[in-house]
Amino acid sequence: MYTPRMSTPDRLIEATRELLWERGYVGTSPKAIQQHAGAGQGSMYHHFAGKSDLALTAIRRTADEMRETAGRVLDAPGSAYERISGYLLRERDVLRGCPLGRLTMDPEVVASDALRAPVDETITWLRERLAAIVREGLDRGEFAPCIVPDDIAASIVATVQGGYVLARASGSTDAFDAGVRGLLTLLGPPIEPVLHI
């Protein structure tokens, strides 16, 4: 998001973030970045070594923002189920997809250890944070004892990322919403058996 007082480097970073989300790394040219940011070629190369350097800065900023947003929900008060539910149900631009998840489909990002690192680190952080919350829930008896925290964390991330793909393919958020509802139903607290006398 641009502001009138934003510096040229920040405008370039924000433009790159937007274009990476829209077009991916391969589809984002230095010229498009400069036009989007309202900056000249000299400005871009004065502040950044090139497209890769600027993209890495933009990806890191997106990763930091995503961690902060997820962290606010996951660190909120409430039961483990409520926090996971809050994460799954939080407001998202579902049809636009995930700005980091999208980069996993980009061959140049996947081939570059440097560009891929912030994506992998963020997904790993999210899985570990979710697994810790599931462990808390298990300790409190919120979940069925057979639940494996790391598996559930991977399922949550896969549901969100896969939900984006399904939503984008159909042009509707219905599939994303259905996936979230299904996962929350499966994660629901264990039901105490009814004893008939």
List of residues 6+ apart from 191 with CB closer than 8 A:
none
Say if 193 falls within a structural domain: no
144-164 per-position pLDDT tens digit: 999 999 999 999 999 999 999
pTM, 2 dp: 0.88
74-131 per-position pLDDT tens digit: 999 999 999 999 999 999 999 999 999 999 999 999 999 999 999 999 999 999 999 9
At 45, the pLDDT band (50, 70, 90 cuts) reads confident
CB 96 within 8 A of CB 188: no
Mean pLDDT, the chain, whole residue set: 91
Give me the sign of the Cα torsion angle 174, 177, 181, 182: positive
Q: pLDDT at residue 11 above 80?
A: yes
Say if 90 falls within a structural domain: yes
Q: State the pLDDT at residue 189.
A: 64
* Number of structural domains found in the chain: 1
CATH number at residue 148: 1.10.357.10
For residue 105, give the 3-state DSSP assignment. helix
Say if 102 falls within a structural domain: yes
